[in-house]
């Protein structure tokens, strides 16, 4: 599955020498002390190695050899495309249970960076491809995951191409509320900052701040600060859903 300047690690090869990584034996239960996560590759033998990555470290860089693929056990990862003039596009935020690097062809098309401390299960791509060649169930599961990634890409194209700033931010909040675990009191902790959100939605950080402040003042959302990031509470789900589908003038 595919789906932000690189101010994080400088490693350009996804090999054994990850900057700031600790490598340990994989947790056979898939919980890795971060709570149980459904493993979409549960049919694979125990060929995974667990790695811990610090916040703002690079997991792999765009253009580096695609030797490994990963499943997120804990934390948040952003997938980034860096333009020639230094601007960046955050194409996707990946969360526990999501995969990355499985769709690469020889080299990685995007950079993968840790938004928060991350635990990953790392698979050598050659092993996964060999297993898929001999197991139709694994091959079918990988095709389903690739199709889901393509569908997600089409949805992002619609969001960036046709939606207003208010619609984009409302859609993003609804998506994150659906995907993220509850942070308590009905709120959702967002690990990404407002610059990440802006680069994901194709907006300026000032626009993101202005729209979020407006939504909070109108009572559509609630926002509280915490040591782990902003906690957003959807106070008017129907109203936010309406904003995600129709521009407000």
Predicted confidence band of residue 249 (pLDDT cuts 50, 70, 90) = very low
Predicted confidence band of residue 173 (pLDDT cuts 50, 70, 90) = very high
Q: Are residues 68 and 99 in the same domain?
A: yes
Q: Are residues 111 and 194 in the same domain?
A: no
Predicted confidence band of residue 125 (pLDDT cuts 50, 70, 90) = confident
Could you tell me the CA-to-CA distances from 12 to 6, 8, 15, 175, 247 in Å, in that order? 11, 11, 9, 31, 42
Q: What's 198's domain CATH number?
A: 1.10.10.10
Looking from the CA of 249 toward its CB, the CA atoms found within 13 Å total: 0
Q: How far is CA 226 from the centre of its chain?
A: 21
Length of the chain: 249
Provide the pLDDT for residue 186: 59
Q: Are residues 136 and 66 in the same domain?
A: yes
Predicted confidence band of residue 22 (pLDDT cuts 50, 70, 90) = very low
Q: Is residue 157 part of a domain?
A: no
Provide the pLDDT for residue 9: 30
Q: Are residues 144 and 34 in the same domain?
A: yes
For the cut 50, the answer to whether the pLDDT of residue 26 exceeds it is no
Per DSSP bridges, beta strands 231-234 and 111-114 are unpaired
Q: Are residues 139 and 82 in the same domain?
A: yes
Beta bridge partners of 66: none
Per DSSP bridges, beta strands 58-60 and 118-124 are unpaired
Q: Are residues 81 and 171 in the same domain?
A: no
Q: Is residue 14 part of a domain?
A: no
Count: domains in the chain:
2
Q: Are residues 193 and 228 in the same domain?
A: yes
For the cut 90, the answer to whether the pLDDT of residue 205 exceeds it is yes
Q: Is residue 60 part of a domain?
A: yes
Q: Is residue 15 part of a domain?
A: no
Per-residue pLDDT tens digits for 45-56: 567 889 999 999
Mean pLDDT of 119-139: 84
The domain boundary, picked from 152, 177, 194, lies at 152
User: Residues 57, 184, 194, CA angle at the centre, nearest 5°?
Assistant: 40
For the cut 90, the answer to whether the pLDDT of residue 7 exceeds it is no
Write the burial class of residue 148 (CB in 10 Å: 0-12 exposed, 13-18 middle, 19+ buried): middle
The domain boundary, picked from 92, 121, 152, lies at 152
Structure tokens given for 201: 């939605």
For the cut 80, the answer to whether the pLDDT of residue 44 exceeds it is no
Q: Are residues 75 and 32 in the same domain?
A: yes
Q: Are residues 126 and 34 in the same domain?
A: yes
Q: Which range of residues forms the domain containing residue 98?
A: 22-152
First-residue to last-residue Cα distance in the chain: 36
The domain boundary, picked from 93, 125, 152, lies at 152
Q: Are residues 182 and 94 in the same domain?
A: no
Q: Is residue 11 part of a domain?
A: no
Predicted confidence band of residue 14 (pLDDT cuts 50, 70, 90) = very low
Q: How confident is the prediction for the chain on average, in pLDDT?
A: 78
Predicted confidence band of residue 248 (pLDDT cuts 50, 70, 90) = very low
The answer to whether residues 6 and 78 touch, using CB atoms and an 8 Å cutoff, is no
Question: Hey, which bits of 54-178 come out as E strands?
Answer: 58-60, 68-74, 77-82, 88-94, 99-100, 111-114, 118-124
Provide the pLDDT for residue 19: 31
């Amino acid at each position: 599955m595919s789906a932000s300047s690189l101010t994080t690690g400088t490693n350009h090869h996804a090999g054994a020498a990850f900057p700031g990584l600790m490598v340990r034996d994989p947790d056979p239960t898939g919980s890795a002390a971060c709570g149980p996560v459904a493993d979409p590759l549960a049919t694979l033998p125990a060929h995974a190695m667990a790695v811990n990555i610090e916040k703002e470290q690079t997991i792999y860089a765009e253009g580096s050899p695609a030797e490994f693929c990963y499943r997120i056990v804990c934390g948040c990862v952003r997938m980034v495309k860096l333009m020639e003039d230094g601007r960046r596009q955050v194409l996707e935020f990946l969360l526990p249970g999501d995969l990355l690097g499985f769709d690469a062809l020889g080299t990685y098309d995007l950079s993968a960076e840790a938004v928060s401390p991350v635990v990953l299960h790392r698979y050598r791509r050659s092993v996964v491809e060999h297993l898929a060649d001999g197991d139709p169930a694994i091959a079918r599961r990988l095709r389903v995951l690739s199709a889901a990634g393509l569908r997600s890409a089409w949805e992002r194209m619609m969001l960036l191409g046709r939606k207003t700033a208010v619609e984009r931010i409302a859609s993003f909040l609804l998506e994150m509320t659906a995907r993220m675990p509850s942070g308590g009191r009905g709120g959702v902790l967002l690990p990404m900052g407002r610059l990440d959100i802006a680069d994901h939605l194709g907006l300026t950080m000032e626009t993101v701040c202005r729209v979020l402040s407006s939504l909070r003042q109108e009572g559509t959302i609630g926002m509280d600060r915490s040591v782990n990031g902003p906690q957003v509470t959807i106070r008017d789900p129907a109203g936010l859903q309406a904003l995600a589908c129709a521009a407000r003038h």
